[in-house]
Amino acid sequence: MIKVIKFLFIVLCIGAIAIIAARLLFPLPAVENRTDSTALPPPEDSPLGRAVLEQWADHPGKTGVGPLRTGADAFAARMLLADAAVSSIDAQYYIWHGDLTGSLLLDALKRAADRGVRVRLLVDDNGTAGLDRELAALNAHENAEVRLYNPFNLRSPKMLSYGFDFFRLNRRMHNKSFTVDGTATILGGRNVGDEYFDTGPTALYVDLDVLAVGDIVQEVASDFDRYWAAKAVHPAGPIVGPAPEGDPVGDAVRRYEGDPQLAEYREILAQSGLVTGLAQGKLDLEWTDVVLVSDDPVKGLGAVPREDLLATRLTQAVGEVKSRFDGISPYFVPGKAGVDAFATLEKRGVDVRMLTNSLEATDVLPVHAGYSKRRRDMLKSGVELFELQRQSTLEIPEDRVGPFGSSGASLHAKTFAVDGERIFIGSFNFDPRSTTLNTEMGLLIDSKSMAGEMHRAFDNGLDGLAWKVTLEEGDLVWRNAAEGTQTTEEPGASTLNGLAITIIGWLPVEWLL
């Protein structure tokens, strides 16, 4: 026994020495002489800005909102707003892929910078794999600047950095916003990448964004400034290196010439009247009260007081839930505290319904393990649970497209509706990671129409796209009423993933999920 203890002690010492050595060998560049710019005011010479101000004047103190339910609308809105910019673009994202949509949007930012538009791009470094050359090129532009949130010490392979800097790198910036000319902003669940805009051959995500103009935009702009100047944020230049020769951003787009998917995106842009309608005052916006809820970026450096967490402030902003709570969370890990909170609502007479990914649709197996561990307790407390079925990527009939867009391989929207009066749209999942580790943001919107639409989607069985999970005589049952099917075998389950889920459920890792 003594020998075993000595051996373990030696291993721990070697490990500690290796971690210290790695940190000394691969330090992050010091942040020196950084100038933190701030949001520019809405320009007076912008046709888009003038049109918005005219509408806003008729709704003082209010925000105009319009949901972007489909990936095509969400993609077009970002591209067309970027092309309409005359003053500034501030973009903040957790993931920015180097695929077609990622390349097109980077190219749109570069074209804007070429026109004299000031571009600020803030990305979480966890989701920028393979983009160092493109980010370096954009950062070198005289009118653009790129910054990275909690950057990785090693550039390739990045994941090795977790071995000696885990507790910092485990904290990520999950926020998503796209603000143009201080006039219009897009917030929601979508990152930048083909799968988030549900066209082409990739797996689709059910997602939801909202376009907002008016009162809330300056708050979003100020929140961006807060992150831009945060201690966890580093200028990209010393991390990704100097700009390479040539035009890597343009080259990335040109690689797709002749690709049918590029033609599809161009057709989407040509047909979209979203920005034109906004500029002409013809876009159907709902003018209402909106609250921005956002984590303090200091969360990326360590634990913060519970009262300062987005989850706490969001609960306060929502206030008392009286009768209905319908939520959508792709990564749903309620933990014991969440189960107790839902049970308390049920005891007060509130109907709670939640939609998450089924095992067959999830893209993160450990998260499903954290959810399934609490599933029976939630059902016993009275919570109604729905799990999105795995769907084909493009063969979805129009009459089965719900209020959150077409259904694909995986759910990604993060939203909930309360009492037919308010709806939250943002980046926040119902899981420990969103609560205590990642930074999050979103909008709480007073909207009977949007909240009612979400409630009706649940009332209608989510258009037959989800299993309703029930507990009958001690057995879990997955039922699809629209198709008249049911099973007591978890859809997508196998011996291997069942064993993995069981083992993960035993481990003390729920706080990481």
Are the C-beta atoms of 105 and 178 separated by less than 8 Å?
A: no
Exposure string of 460-494, with b = 16+ CB inside 10 Å and e = fewer, is ebbbbbbbbbeeeeeebebbbeeeeeeeeebebee
- Give the separation between CA 242 and CA 229, rounded to whole angstroms: 22
List 97, 368, 373, 414, catalytic entry? 414
| DSSP E strand stretches across 73-174 | 88-95, 118-127, 144-149
* Residue 359: DSSP 8-state: T
158 is catalytic: no
List 97, 110, 174, 234, catalytic entry? 174
DSSP 99-153: SHHHHHHHHHHHHHHHTT-EEEEEEEEEE-TT-HHHHHHHHTSTTEEEEEES--S
HSE-up of residue 488 (Cα within 13 Å, Cβ side): 6
225 is catalytic: no
- Give the separation between CA 109 and CA 103, rounded to whole angstroms: 10
Tokens of 464: 């037959």
181 is catalytic: yes
Sign (positive or negative) of CA dihedral 48, 49, 50, 52 = positive
- Give the separation between CA 127 and CA 95, rounded to whole angstroms: 4
DSSP 166-229: HHHHT--B---EEEETTTEEEEES--BSGGGGT-TTSPPEE--EEEEEEHHHHHHHHHHHHHHT
412 is catalytic: yes
Tokens of 367: 């998260």
List 90, 132, 165, 181, catalytic entry? 181
295 is catalytic: no
List 97, 176, 234, 368, catalytic entry? 176
List 326, 419, 431, 468, catalytic entry? 419
368 is catalytic: no
List 412, 431, 455, 468, catalytic entry? 412
What residues are annotated to the active site?
174, 176, 181, 412, 414, 419
